[in-house]
Amino acid sequence: MMASLSKDGAGWRILFACPTTKKRRTIRTGKCQKKNAETALNMVERLVEARRLGSALDGQTIAWLKGIDATLRGRLAKAGLVEPEKAALLGPFLDGYIEQRRQRGDVESSTIETWGHTCRNLVEYFGEDKDMRTITTTDADNWSAWLKTHHHLAENTIRKRSQFAKRFFSVAVKRKLIPEDPFAVLVGSVVSVPERKFFIPRETVDALLDQCHGPEYRLLLVFARYMGVRVPSEIHPLKWTDVDWDGQRVVIASPKTKRHRGGDKRVCPLFPEVLPFLQEAWEAAPEGALWVFPSIRSGKKNLRTWLEKAILRAGLRPWPRLWQNFRATRATELADKYPSHVAAAWLGHSERIADGHYRQVTAEHYARAAQEATGAMPAVGTTVKKLARIPAHSPHVLAFQGSSREEPDRGNPRICVGVSNGDTPPSEGDGTRTRNHWIDSPVL
């Protein structure tokens, strides 16, 4: 008996005889156009025939099954026309993916550890047995908000974990486990946070060097500050064979950027600030030593905690992003002395990344600009003499106001010529000579 189609409120109802029990069964399509309901009717008839005869499904029916939503497919499975889909459980999927990448060895162990934070957050919020097909974009938004309200994570940390969640669920989409990635709506790009940038002066480094026990940790400090290396990822693989004493250069392997073409290593000059400490560590190293930082690369010491304690022992206050701001400080210094592309190449990042996340505006920049401005600024008498030579009918200068700080009662805007003489500007109405001279100028 062929299947039939009838109206069912806003949707349609397909009636057919079960191929095994011969009982009448019903499948509701939900709200849709009649032509789409007729397509579903045709496909149900094909499924019934395939079940009855034990034949394989044709390509068109297979494609239709792949395109329908989980609700309709579940109704077909309940009616015995298709095999029920295996649930895509969140916990087992994440564990399997992480283990697969670990066995492949195409990511660093530190990356696996970082991914683990996001996996734990996902499982904690949704549950290990959560069917990934039921997670919606609203659920993803709520998870992101929960990271802030429950775990009190910083904005960039939330963005980074959202980026990893998008990666995991996009893999599930490629594996046909879920129809779409609900986390695609989240923002995963990290933004620069100016208030977390901190310029570390050389005097601070000198104070910290006194708190270092042994040449290895002194070298670590100057490598972070004057070579701008990433700690600990670029410290661990550094070998003595990477040091070119004659050429005054060092080859720095970069696990973080090795996935980019030519980003696996870079050549950086041995700056004068580093050489004495490198020589000290070399002389203290045992015969045949391979690693420049043997005890540090063992991973037994928490370098962030060590640095924070050294800062406190030196009588200083810890700054944000303890190790990263060493690198940011050096990026700023090098950009002041060398072409931008050269400074970026030596530190192993792009100029765009350097401008957005590393380089800073320092007090020295302001002092230099103020010094140049002071040297170029004319004295008051010189300004008056030059203005006196301008014709009175000039359209650009109608009159020169004397020593009064009050604005002249004119309809034209004024240009204030400030003269810096090193004194503190007097207050209003104190009877002293002011440093502002107003020039009336026509509206341009």
Averaging pLDDT over each range in 24-28, 164-168, 345-349, which range is the top one? 164-168
Structure tokens at 251: 């080859």
Say if CB 313 and CB 201 are below 8 A apart.
no
Residue 383 has pLDDT above 80, yes or no: no
What does the DSSP assignment read for 311-340?
HHHTT-PPPSSTTHHHHHHHHHHHHHHS-H
Structure tokens at 280: 């000290």
Residue 352 has pLDDT above 70, yes or no: no
Residue 423 has pLDDT above 60, yes or no: no
Average pLDDT over residues 420-425: 39
Confidence bin at 376 (pLDDT 50/70/90):
low
Residue 322 has pLDDT above 90, yes or no: yes
Say if CB 21 and CB 7 are below 8 A apart.
no
Please provide residue 193's backbone torsions phi and psi, each rounded to the nearest 5 degrees: -115, 95
Residue 430 has pLDDT above 70, yes or no: no
Residue 425 has pLDDT above 70, yes or no: no
Residue 344 has pLDDT above 80, yes or no: yes
Q: Name the nearest CA neighbour of 281 among 236, 232, 220.
A: 220
Query: Looking at beta carbons, which pairs linking 352-357 to residues 24 or more positions away fall under 8 Å?
Result: 356/192, 357/190, 357/192, 357/328
Q: Name the nearest CA neighbour of 159 among 139, 145, 179.
A: 145
Burial class (CB in 10 A: 0-12, 13-18, 19+), 360: middle
- Strands of 249-253's sheet in order across: 243-244, 249-253, 265-269
Of the listed ranges 145-149, 341-345, 386-390, the one predicted with least confidence: 386-390
Element (H, E) at 313: helix 303-313
Residue 74 has pLDDT above 90, yes or no: no
List, for residues 244-261, the tens digit of each pLDDT value: 999 999 999 988 777 666
Sign of the dihedral defined by the CA atoms of residues 33, 41, 180, 122, in that order = positive
The distance in angstroms from the start CA to the end CA of the chain is 88
Residue 318: what pLDDT? 95
Residue 365: what pLDDT? 64
d(CA 244, CA 234): 17
Please provide residue 177's backbone torsions phi and psi, each rounded to the nearest 5 degrees: -85, -30
Q: What is the CA radius of gyration of the chain?
A: 35
Average pLDDT over residues 404-431: 40
Structure tokens at 117: 């934070």
Domain ranges of the chain: 4-78, 90-191, 196-364, 377-444
Q: How far is CA 421 from CA 241, 374, 377, in A?
A: 58, 9, 10
List, for residues 128-141, the tens digit of each pLDDT value: 999 998 899 999 99
Of the listed ranges 138-152, 158-172, 247-261, 394-408, the one predicted with least confidence: 394-408
Residue 49 has pLDDT above 70, yes or no: yes
d(CA 135, CA 120): 16
Q: How far is CA 423 from CA 152, 347, 364, in A?
A: 48, 43, 22
Residue 163 has pLDDT above 90, yes or no: yes
d(CA 383, CA 388): 9
Residue 401: what pLDDT? 39
Residue 375: what pLDDT? 65
Angle between helices 202-209 and 215-226 (to 10 degrees): 170
Residue 110: what pLDDT? 81
Q: Please tell me the CATH superfamily of domain 196-364, with its number.
A: Intergrase catalytic core (1.10.443.10)
Of the listed ranges 14-18, 167-171, 267-271, 280-284, the one predicted with least confidence: 14-18
Confidence bin at 95 (pLDDT 50/70/90):
very high
d(CA 57, CA 83): 13
Average pLDDT over residues 65-90: 84
Confidence bin at 193 (pLDDT 50/70/90):
confident
Residue 395 has pLDDT above 90, yes or no: no
Average pLDDT over residues 416-437: 39
- On whether the 90-191 domain is CATH 3.40.50.2300, my answer is no
Average pLDDT over residues 7-31: 87
pTM: 0.56
Averaging pLDDT over each range in 16-20, 203-207, 393-397, which range is the top one? 203-207
Averaging pLDDT over each range in 181-190, 262-271, 358-367, which range is the top one? 181-190
